[in-house]
Amino acid sequence: MKKKLSEKIEIPSGITPMFEDSTLKLRQGQIELVKTLKSPGIKIVAQGNFVEISCDRGNKKEYKIMKTFVAHIKNMLSGLSSPFVYKLESANVHFPMTLKVDGKQLLINNFLGEKLPRKAEILPNVEVDVKGSQITIKSSDREAAGQTAANFEKATKLRGRDRRIFQDGIFITNKPGDEE
């Protein structure tokens, strides 16, 4: 059954919301987060301290999409108040691997004795700090921080070898939402 659906999200003071051309921008000081929220039939309006998401004739599908948009907006708001932090650790058994940040890439040297370094992409607006075998990723954008952490893990993924024996790699040890 189609019915009118509406969600209203309150924006804390100090944060400026703008919505135009299916793009939501939230700005606080120097930090600006941008997210494209587009779905047919769903209207988004940013007025004052509120962002309203509505659908005139919605069903279960539109309701799920609206709730997804609400979750994205809440992640953006919490990212503006404090950055999302991912902690990773590099593990090696025999060949000592060295990690170095080079511009927008992480260079992984001597992984399993390989001569050529492996490379992992660092997304924009993400800070990466490497201290020994510990890697810390910080960003106000949750998706960018999570994708950067996934890029690091994927760069050292082993294929065609027994994982019980070859345990080298970079692994996520703590992510936002985990208790420390």
- Whether 64 has a pLDDT exceeding 80, the answer reads yes
Mean pLDDT of the chain: 92
- Whether 23 has a pLDDT exceeding 90, the answer reads yes
Angle in degrees, 0-180, between the axes of helices 142-155 and 60-81, rounded to the nearest 10: 90
pLDDT average, residue stretch 114-141:
95
The token pair that represents 88 in the structure block? 């990773």
Residue 120 near residue 149, CB atoms below 8 Å: no
Residue whose entry in the numeric block shows the structure tokens 């370094």: 117
Q: How high is the pLDDT of residue 84?
A: 96
Q: How high is the pLDDT of residue 94?
A: 86
Q: How high is the pLDDT of residue 69?
A: 95
The token pair that represents 14 in the structure block? 């100090």
Q: How confident is the model at residue 17 (pLDDT cuts 50, 70, 90)?
A: very high
Distance, CA of 114 to CA of 133 (rounded, Å)? 18
Q: How high is the pLDDT of residue 179?
A: 67
Q: What pLDDT digit, counting tens, does each position of 108-119 carry?
A: 999 999 999 999
pLDDT > 90: what percent of the chain? 81
CA nearest to 104, candidates 90, 84, 119, 118:
119
Q: How high is the pLDDT of residue 168?
A: 92
Tell me the whole-structure pTM to 2 decimals.
0.89
Q: How high is the pLDDT of residue 47?
A: 87
Q: How high is the pLDDT of residue 11?
A: 92
Q: How high is the pLDDT of residue 126?
A: 96
pLDDT average, residue stretch 70-88:
94
- Whether 58 has a pLDDT exceeding 90, the answer reads no
All domains of the chain in start order, with CATH: 3-81 (3.90.930.12), 84-174 (3.90.930.12)
Q: How confident is the model at residue 180 (pLDDT cuts 50, 70, 90)?
A: low
